[in-house]
Every structure is written in structure tokens, then in C-alpha cells.
Structure 1
Amino acid sequence: MSPKLAPTRPYQPLLLRLLHGGTALALFAALFTAYWTYDTYDGRWGGITLPTYRPIEALHGTFGLWTLLIFPAFVIYAFHRGQRRLLQPDSFQKLTQGSKPIWWYTLNRGGNTLALVALAFALFSGKMMDETWLPRGILTAGWYYAHLISWLVMVGAIALHLLLNAKVGGTPLLLSMFTPQFRDQDSPRHWPTHLSQQWAAVQQGNWLQWFQPMTTMLALEIMILVSMVLAWVLPLLK
């Protein structure tokens, strides 16, 4: 175990850092290769003229697939153990309290939530595309336009996410996502026990309590997870 953190330093749970970091790495690679793909095969709205690399579409799809594999676990964590970082039932009421710190914290939670929704939109629209469209010069398909829009929304959501986290926590909060230190209760040696306890709860039917009561945020979580399932199933039915 790493040395104990100073009590005044922001702390992020180890599992959050791993899921957030894995998703972020795959996502940034997917975003960069998405632009490179656009620059190679499209470029109708301008660009910076990157070197032409024809296999870039397949490489972008690979990074998108990695993101899709990690993202559902991150969503489940975010909407449960990390729920306090997302929109709350009274968030819209707090947004009326301008010039107060709670306004910025609430806006930050909204930005975090928006980033999750934007990523779900990007992953789903990407899976609805055919990887042969762009190499064949098919640039007017509806799902291609949807994926282009999702790329722009995702870039904006990430920028907002970073700016708002910097606003509410400054550099220490941003750096807390990269520290290798962790507390004893976050140690990976406890994870098998936690998983067995969760599985035992599922076997006993306690999972039904996850949907009670049906809140707006729970409905949003279900919609995101269902969209990820459909992202795998619908292409098989084409």
C-alpha cells in the first residue's frame, strides 16, 4: 500500500481512477483517430490536413470498441458509488442560486452527467455506422452525420468537464485522478469479497431494489446501458 495521503488533498477512489482513466485513454485515442478519419475521407468543412492513412477508419473503430467495452462498468460506478458527482434531485433549484459556491458544484455535476450522455451518443452512433462507408465514398448517411455531431458534442463535453473540475477543485482535484496512492479500503485485495457479496445479493433477488424508486437519474442510467446493449445487437440485425 502507498503512503497515506494528506487529509487536505482531494482523494479519488482507486476504482474510479482506473475506470475513468481507462475510459479517458481509449476515448481520447478514438477522438483523435475520428478526426484523422474525417480528414482522410471527408474534409468538407475544413481541416488541418493530416497525412493520408487509409487504415485509419479501422484504427478508429478499434479505439471506439475499447471505449465501448470499458464504458458500461464506468456508467454503473458513476450512477451508484459516484452518484454524488452527478446531477441531484435539487440540482435545478440550486442552479438558481447564482454567485454561490454551490452553483459551481451543481454546474460541475451537470457537466459530468452531460459527458456520460455525450459518450453514450457517440458510441451508439458509431456502432450504427458501416466501416466501409467512408472508404467507398458514402458521406451522406444519416448515422455518419449523427456520429460527426456526436464527435463535436463529445469534444465540447470534455472541455466543459475539465474546465468545471478545474474551477471547483483547481489543480489538486485534476491531479488527484493520477496519483498512484490509495486508501486501505480501496485496496484491490478487497474486490473479490465485494464481488462475491454483490453476486450473493443478486442470487437472493435483491437486485430488484435497484429500481426502487424509479428516479430520473436511474432512468437515465438504464437508458445509457440499454443503448450500449443495442449498440452490440442492432448491427447484427442489419
Structure 2
Amino acid sequence: MPKSPYQPLVLRILHGFNALIAILAILTSFWVYNIYDGRFGRLPLPEISGTIDLHGTLGLIFLLGFPAFGIYSVWVGNKRLVQQSTGKNLGRLNHPIGWYSWHRLINTAMLLAAIFALITGKMMQESWLPAGDLNQPWYQFHLLAWVVLVCCLALHIGLSLKVGGIPLVLSMVSWKYKSQDAPQNWSSHLRRWWQRN
């Protein structure tokens, strides 16, 4: 098996935290939909009281944690997002740059989908679904955000496996880090980065 690439510790912490909360929010949002809506289909899940509160709490945690990941992604990890050359390389699937370009596009779409889900969720009233008020525009947008987020997540995982395979996935969950990446060095890294930009 090829050696796992090294991922910065800050990226792994922010990515891991946000991924965990986002996946839990996606699961609980489906559970809430299943209990109160179900117009596009239902699963035989138990109706657990407080599911809507749990989803709201996870949404709030995601809202508080996501900005740090978003800022890191845009300023420090911008090489993993859409580049000027991304569009012209999307069709080059017989070369690695084609798949890397798709991966960057989906990484960017994943960030935008998360923002879409956060905004639409924030605009919702918690009382709408228990009251059967399912036609509120913000609820409709939040349902759409859920679909977009789930599709982006599936593509993100699939393309991560395509461009880096299991070593890339393992590098995102590794606990090992280089001495220069240690938490006690973060403030000096931040100062140097700030001075360059």
C-alpha cells in the first residue's frame, strides 16, 4: 500500500470535527423529516421525542464550528479548492489533473452546500414541523440543502478515494503529526502566515 500523505494537524482537527457534526446533523435531519414530513418516503424509524431539538443543537454546534474550517479552507487550504485552471481540466479524466480538478470542485461545492444548509436551517422556525406547516419556503430550501449536502458528501468521499485512495482517507484520521505541526507552534505559524498575506 502506498505511504499515506501528510495532512496538517489543524486541517485534520477542523475537518474531523466538522465532518462528525455534519454527518450527525444529516442523520438527525432525515430522522426529523421522517417523523414530521415523509412526503417523499419514510423509513420505519422510531419516533424519539426531542429529535428535532437534537438536530437543532447539532446545527448550532456546526454553525459555531464551521467558520474556523471555512476560513482555514479558503486561506490556508485553498489549493484543495477550485483554482483558475480547474474548469479547463475537468474533461482531462485520462490524466490525474482531471480527477484532482473534480475533487477541488466538489470540495468547494461541499463548503457552499454546508453554508446553504446553515443559512436555511437558521431561517427556520422550530415550531413549523410539529404544527404540520410543511410548505414554508425556508423549510423547502432546507430540504433541498439536505439533498445537495448528501450528494456533495458522497461525491467528496468518492473522489477522495479516487484521487488518493485509502492512504488519503487514513491520512485524515491519523493521530500522528510532525514536530513543526505541534499545537505549541500554531501561534508562530499564524503570525508568519499573517505577515505573508
Equivalent residue letter for 2:169 = L
Q: Is structure 2 residue 19 aligned with structure 1 residue 24?
A: yes
What's 1:140 paired with? 135
Contact persistence 1:40–1:54 (CA under 8 A)? no
What's 2:122 paired with? 127
Which one has the largest radius of gyration? 1
Alignment of 1:31-70 (within 5 A): 31-70=26-65
Equivalent residue letter for 1:150 = A
Summarize deviations over 1:41-89 as a string: whole Å, max 9, x none.
Answer: 1111112121012311111000011111111110111111111111101
| Range moving further from structure 2, 51-60 or 151-160 | 51-60
Give 1:136 shift: 1.4
Runs of 4+ in 1 over 3 A off after TM superposition: 192-195
The number of residues matched between the two structures is 196
RMSD: 1.8
Equivalent residue letter for 2:38 = G
State the distance in 2 between where 1:188 and 1:145 align.
42
What's 1:173 paired with? 168
**Gaps (5+ residues) in structure 2?**
none
SS in 1 for 2:43: coil
Equivalent residue letter for 2:94 = S
State the distance in 1 between where 2:14 and 2:111 align.
13
Give 1:198 shift: 7.2
Contact persistence 1:104–1:168 (CA under 8 A)? yes
Contact persistence 2:6–2:171 (CA under 8 A)? yes
Give 1:99 shift: 1.4
What's 1:224 paired with? none
State the distance in 2 between where 1:180 and 1:98 align.
33
TM-score, normalization by structure 1: 0.78
Alignment of 1:84-233 (within 5 A): 84-195=79-190, 197=191
SS in 1 for 2:158: helix
What's 2:77 paired with? 82
Summarize deviations over 1:139-198 as a string: whole Å, max 9, x none.
Answer: 110000000010010000000000001001000101111110001121001123345x37
